Structure 1
Amino acid sequence: MVSLYCKWASLPSVPFIRVCGHTNVTRRVVEGKLVEEGKWPWQVSILFMGVYACSGSLFHEQWILTAAHCLQRSRNESEYTVITTGSQIFTQNDTQLRVSAVVIHKNFSNFVSRDIALLKLQDPVSWSHKIQPVCLPSGQYKPELGSLCWVTRWGREKKQGDPNASYSLQEIAVKIIKNNVCNQKYHFLLTEDQEHFLGEDMLCGSSQQGVESCQTNSGSPLVCYLNSTWIQMGLVSWSFTCGQFQFPSIYTSTSYFTSWIKSQVSDVNFISQAHPAFLRPLFCTSYILLVSLSFLWLL
């Protein structure tokens, strides 16, 4: 007897297949608005004492990647919770997941270097078409200059007198530019003993459309679409002033911290190049049918 199995992130199997960097977008109407689900399935919201604090990304069933400065308020894991909706909107009334560990890079001391941290969830998430992990790059895999990538951040809808107003997911197109550009733009911030403002652990990006990466976007993933796969090349660290497009934004480079992430999460995988998308359902079905008929013909 021959058993054929074909992986595909969109197949309605239980449990759902874990495929990093792939999406399965669906749409539904919420409060009279058309809402997309599953477009950015790794996006999470980090709450401090029940109030939204930062964004983060799901790269493992139990681990969240975010910026270190997001967790400066406290290192007490009981004060943080995480919301994973897989939707374009969330409210602070949504189900909150408990955190069991807060891990901040030991060399983080300011916004310019080692601005990276991890949160460990108390219980693993269940993968679905709305919740999937993002891919992380290997240490040698860096975005090419001129690459157009995306930052996703939570923006709050302003409703007077409503503390539970929903947040909507906003998209920002970001062009990867030379670190020298950021070094020149932020030269006035250099101290006497500094030659360069940005080190190899940071990326420089210029917003092309959408909203600028303001302080409220901290921890948001910077993802690039390569060979049909979304790869998180960075995360939002900071920007000099919100809405001032003459100043590019600063991102923590995830590929620089491959070894550090691996030291904290032993079973995480990194990719050295974007792997091809899985077989489409129609092609997969046709392939299985074709092979099955071949075996029948040989009987």
Structure 2
Amino acid sequence: SWFRGCGRTNISCKNVNGKLVEVGKWPWQVSILFLGMNICSGSLIHRQWVLTAAHCLQRSKDPLSYSVKMGVQSLSENGTELPVIHVVIHEDFTNLSQDLALLKLRDSVSWSPLIQPVCLPNPKLKPSFGSLCWMIGWGKMDIHGNNSGNSLVCQMNNTWIQMGVVSWSFSCKQRHFPGVYTSTSYFTDWMKKQIGDVRFVSRAGPACLSPVFLTSSILLVSLGCLWLL
């Protein structure tokens, strides 16, 4: 089995158009498709469940309209595509808060070097002030477009933990405005209720790239923008 536990990576290199490219760096990264078109991103947290932002799923209430593509390094690759059979949007979702949703896949995924789950934090695990974390995306510098729903991850004790879900921003082109992320640790109980057997990490360790600030259910992150509290 390729499964090594959540939050673990198996990085290798391949030749793409004459250039060496890292693959397997973010194996939980997925593309969310609506009628075959990429609309948002998400993260694999379980063999059959994907975590994303609720605002990504406002086009239709029909789960069969959505599918998830995984095991790819770019949106142009084919990868593994699985249909969605159930959509769970947080019951208190508004455009500004509780921006969290879960997608249940029709089939359980097969683990591989390119397909692995990310870990989630328990309620007590918070990044320390000034911690540096990664916002995973498809090559864009801010959190607009198909980067919505992506993961904000911090590495602790060689394990990647998803601390936030990309929600919205004013764009880093506008100074003094942060990116806004939904805090995963704040919604631990909600996710447990929906899924049950997902692993939550409690042990903190060395931090990982971009200042983070927690405010209740919203995680504010400065991605190259100046943010003053």
| TM norm structure 2 | 0.84
Structure 1 partner of 2:50: 64
Match of 2:165 among 232, 235, 242: 235
Q: Which amino acid aligns with 1:231?
A: I
1:55 aligns with 2:65: no
Superposition map of 1:136-151 within 5 A: 136-151=120-135
Structure 1 partner of 2:27: 41
* CA-CA distance at 1:242 after TM superposition: 5.3
- CA–CA distance in 2 between the matches of 1:275 and 1:148? 12
Structure 1 partner of 2:105: 121
Structure 2 partner of 1:130: 114
* CA-CA distance at 1:93 after TM superposition: 4.5
- CA–CA distance in 2 between the matches of 1:90 and 1:24? 20
Shift of the 47–99 alpha-carbon distance from structure 1 to 2, 3 Å rule, reads same
* CA-CA distance at 1:94 after TM superposition: 4.2
1:76 aligns with 2:56: no
Q: Are the aligned partners of 2:171 and 2:179 in contact in 1 as well (CA < 8 Å)?
A: no
Structure 1 partner of 2:9: 23
Q: Are the aligned partners of 1:35 and 1:88 in contact in 2 as well (CA < 8 Å)?
A: no
Deviations, residues 226-278 of structure 1 (Å, cap 9, x unaligned): 111110000110002353243111000000000000000011121111489xx
Report the aligned-residue RMSD.
1.8
Q: Are the aligned partners of 1:138 and 1:258 in contact in 2 as well (CA < 8 Å)?
A: yes
1:154 aligns with 2:138: yes
* CA-CA distance at 1:80 after TM superposition: 0.4
Instruction: Count matched residues.
Output: 206
Structure 2 partner of 1:104: 89
Match of 1:226 among 127, 131, 156: 156
1:90 aligns with 2:75: yes
Match of 2:142 among 205, 212, 223: 212
Structure 2 partner of 1:272: 202
Deviations, residues 11-38 of structure 1 (Å, cap 9, x unaligned): xxxx222411111101112344433211
- CA–CA distance in 1 between the matches of 2:190 and 2:70? 24
Q: Are the aligned partners of 1:18 and 1:133 in contact in 2 as well (CA < 8 Å)?
A: no
Q: Are the aligned partners of 2:143 and 2:171 in contact in 1 as well (CA < 8 Å)?
A: no
Match of 1:256 among 179, 186, 195: 186
- CA–CA distance in 1 between the matches of 2:158 and 2:79? 31
Q: Are the aligned partners of 2:152 and 2:164 in contact in 1 as well (CA < 8 Å)?
A: yes
Higher helix share: 1
* CA-CA distance at 1:154 after TM superposition: 1.7
Q: Are the aligned partners of 1:214 and 1:242 in contact in 2 as well (CA < 8 Å)?
A: no
- CA–CA distance in 2 between the matches of 1:39 and 1:97? 21
Percentage identity across paired residues of the two chains: 59
Higher CA-based Rg: 1
Higher strand share: 2
Unmatched 5+ stretches in structure 1: 1-14, 156-169, 171-210, 277-299
Shift of the 275–63 alpha-carbon distance from structure 1 to 2, 3 Å rule, reads farther
Q: Are the aligned partners of 1:47 and 1:53 in contact in 2 as well (CA < 8 Å)?
A: yes
Q: Which amino acid aligns with 2:28?
A: W
* CA-CA distance at 1:140 after TM superposition: 1.1
Shift of the 153–231 alpha-carbon distance from structure 1 to 2, 3 Å rule, reads same
